[in-house]
Structure 1
Amino acid sequence: MRRSVLLVIALCFASPSLAGETDLTLDRGIAATLSMPEGEGPFPAVLLLHGLGADRHEIGNIYVDSAEILAENGIASLRFDFRGFGKSSGDTGAFTLDRQNEDALIGLEALMSTKGVDPERIGTVGFSFGGGAAIELAAARPQTIKSVVVWSPVGDYVADMLDSLGQKAFDRAAEEGIVGLDLGWRTMALKKDFFDSLFAHDLLEALAAYPGPFMMINGEDDFYRQYVTPMMEAAAGTDKKALAIEGADHIYHVYTPSRSKAVEVIEATVQRFRETL
């Protein structure tokens, strides 16, 4: 059922088929997967940035499905594991926003230098915590990133992590230097540097530094939907859109049998990149 639904989406567009996926190791031991359409290109391309505690395939393999449908529509993609997650090297406990942003730049440089990719037509997607990474990447490279789509993005690093983890986690990290966390789907330990880094990054300021196309997709029942208005107001460009997926939560019900809400997100994202890249 899932495969047939995704094929219906792909057939709505002109669609070269998937040439294949290649696993790569980028600088600093970052594990990545490159997906290319069939043909010589050059193709537009998208960098996929995962959320906190996830990996390059994202929850419910939604990035795997996205890469396939992007390729079927003539768009290459690169997804990777931030250091300390998935199969990338590095200590999870040493994860900070600064290291996350460094990894995003490494991924961007790798994608731009890929044979068959048009470096003048690069976009990025970020999911949840990865939405912040996508926004900050665009702010750091506004002339390179031509389009940004964020799914259920974090909006205020400090407020959102306080809400998710509680003040006790911040206090324990400050007192003991490290704190073990139960995120619900996995456990992990983060050090004081991670918590300190949250205070040094402002996503609304980052959006104000990016003049290109920006799209924000939230489930109708997503708790981060509160950021739609401030983010739309902060985004510097004139081409900005907000989409609410009816009946969807923060993760678009990716674990339900039909996955219909995840399909809607992928469809809207592919269409957006076809229009802006």
Structure 2
Amino acid sequence: MKVTRRASLVVLLIVLLGGMLFAAGSEYTVVKGDTLWEIAKAYGVDWKEIAELNGITDEFALQVGTVLKIPEAYTEISVMIPNIDHEIPAVICIPNGDGPFPLVVMLHGTGSDKNEAGGGYLLAAPALAKAGIASVRFDFIGNGESTADYINYNFTSAVDDTNIAFAYAASLPRVDGHRAGIMGWSQGGTIALLAAGQNPAYKSVLCWAGAPDLSGVGSLEAYEIAKQNGYYELTFEWRSPLKLGLQWFDEAYGTDVLQVFSNSSAPVLAINGSEDTVVDPVNAQRIVDASRNEKSKVLIIEGADHTFNIFTGDMTAFNQLIEATVDWFSKTL
């Protein structure tokens, strides 16, 4: 059966837990040979939910050309999580159903936000939800919807925000905080490794182009400027500059990320693209070598760059990335 989605989405917004909950749905046009069960399976929902939503009383009498409203397999909650002197903008994606569901904390990279490059996490979170896995993604200090000053972002603040976001999501009724994983892209992978090495609550780890060494982001020359000014201005082609604070440099140069991660007993899947020129793919093996878990492994996606080709229009590599991510957490949580 071929599934085709219409561009229009039915979006329901309701106030929940101090935030906004988005229950998105799509539409499907019945073609010859379709069954309600097959359609439901393709979308990861119960066929009875489709029948109820569309007023279908005879599931064997589908008419070709009928446009069915499809309920989504998840809901998303947009919240602001308090953390002492700032708030953490976050989105929690929870599968529909009774649960409790395992949880994955998703960490973004340098200069990005909770939805990640090319909307990468907008694709990953629903994919996890359809596999019965909840997730929380959030903006680090000074990124996305965060109103805090990026100059205060550093390893310590990032790990702290990570643990606060995890604790918030894990406290929700249909979430099982005892089955928690953590993942990060690029510098988000750095923070994921640090958080896992310091917090045994994370039972599984995954890195998308994880960077155990960030000297490429902040050079020694930039470090010297930060010592003089209190910060170094980091520029990007796709967004406004960010001020890397002196504490970030002190921690980036003074922290053995892999040594910290070696304290974790969780398995790690380190994924890199073979054509990544930002984070050398050899770092995937370095991460696995630092792990104490024999189930840890490396996955190199051939032909993929640092963003797994999400901006090229060819989604082959990114789809492989999503599939590997869902499979990893399904098996380890």
TM-score by length of 2: 0.75
**Residue 295 (structure 2) aligned to one of 226, 239, 256:** 239
2:202 is aligned with 1:145: yes
**Residue 180 (structure 2) aligned to one of 122, 128, 134:** 122
2:150 is aligned with 1:95: no
> What corresponds to 1:155 in structure 2?
212
> What corresponds to 1:192 in structure 2?
246
> What corresponds to 1:211 in structure 2?
265
Letter in 2 for 1:189: K
Paired residue secondary structure (1:27): strand
> What corresponds to 1:136 in structure 2?
194
> What corresponds to 2:162 in structure 1?
104
Distance (whole Å) between structure 1 residues aligned to residue 280 and residue 132 of structure 2: 31
Distance (whole Å) between structure 2 residues aligned to residue 92 and residue 230 of structure 1: 29
Q: Is the 8 A contact 1:15 1:74 kept in 2?
A: no
Displacement of 1:258:
2.7
Paired residue secondary structure (2:184): strand
**Residue 262 (structure 1) aligned to one of 313, 318, 325:** 318
Q: Which has the higher helix share?
A: 1
Paired residue secondary structure (1:230): helix
Structure 2 counterparts to residues 154-173 of structure 1, below 5 A = 154-157=211-214, 161=215, 163-173=216-226
Q: Is the 8 A contact 2:193 2:258 kept in 1?
A: no
2:76 is aligned with 1:18: no
Displacement of 1:14:
6.7
Paired positions, count:
265
What is the Cα-based RMSD across aligned positions, in Å? 2.0
**Residue 284 (structure 2) aligned to one of 209, 228, 242:** 228
Change in 2 beyond 3 A, CA 1:11/1:241: farther
Q: Which has the higher contact order (CA 8 A, sep 6+)?
A: 1
Instruction: For structure 2, list consecutive stretches of 5 or more residues without a partner in the other structure.
Output: 6-39, 47-71
Distance (whole Å) between structure 2 residues aligned to residue 13 and residue 107 of structure 1: 29
Instruction: For structure 1, list consecutive stretches of 5 or more residues without a partner in the other structure.
Output: 5-9
Distance (whole Å) between structure 1 residues aligned to residue 218 and residue 45 of structure 2: 43
Distance (whole Å) between structure 2 residues aligned to residue 140 and residue 111 of structure 1: 19
Distance (whole Å) between structure 2 residues aligned to residue 99 and residue 152 of structure 1: 21
Structure 1 range deviating more: 66-75 or 224-233? 224-233
Letter in 2 for 1:129: Q
> What corresponds to 2:328 in structure 1?
272
Displacement of 1:12:
8.2
Q: Is the 8 A contact 1:153 1:224 kept in 2?
A: no
> What corresponds to 2:82 in structure 1?
27
2:229 is aligned with 1:176: yes
Paired residue secondary structure (2:79): strand
Letter in 2 for 1:155: P
Distance (whole Å) between structure 2 residues aligned to residue 107 and residue 200 of structure 1: 26
Distance (whole Å) between structure 2 residues aligned to residue 50 and residue 264 of structure 1: 19
Distance (whole Å) between structure 2 residues aligned to residue 15 and residue 275 of structure 1: 21
**Which deviations, in whole Å up to 9, do the C-alpha atoms of 1:229-268 show, x marking residues without a partner?**
3222210111101000010011101112132211111110
Letter in 1 for 2:302: E
* % identity of equivalent residues: 33
Letter in 1 for 2:273: G
Change in 2 beyond 3 A, CA 1:15/1:238: farther
> What corresponds to 1:202 in structure 2?
256
Larger Rg over CA atoms: 2
Paired residue secondary structure (2:281): helix
Letter in 2 for 1:24: V
Distance (whole Å) between structure 2 residues aligned to residue 137 and residue 154 of structure 1: 14
Distance (whole Å) between structure 2 residues aligned to residue 11 and residue 96 of structure 1: 43
**Which deviations, in whole Å up to 9, do the C-alpha atoms of 1:37-76 show, x marking residues without a partner?**
1101001111101111110000000001000111111111
Displacement of 1:224:
2.4
2:134 is aligned with 1:80: no
Q: Please list every run of at least 4 consecutive aligned residues from structure 1 whose deviation after the TM superposition is greater than 6 angstroms.
A: 10-16
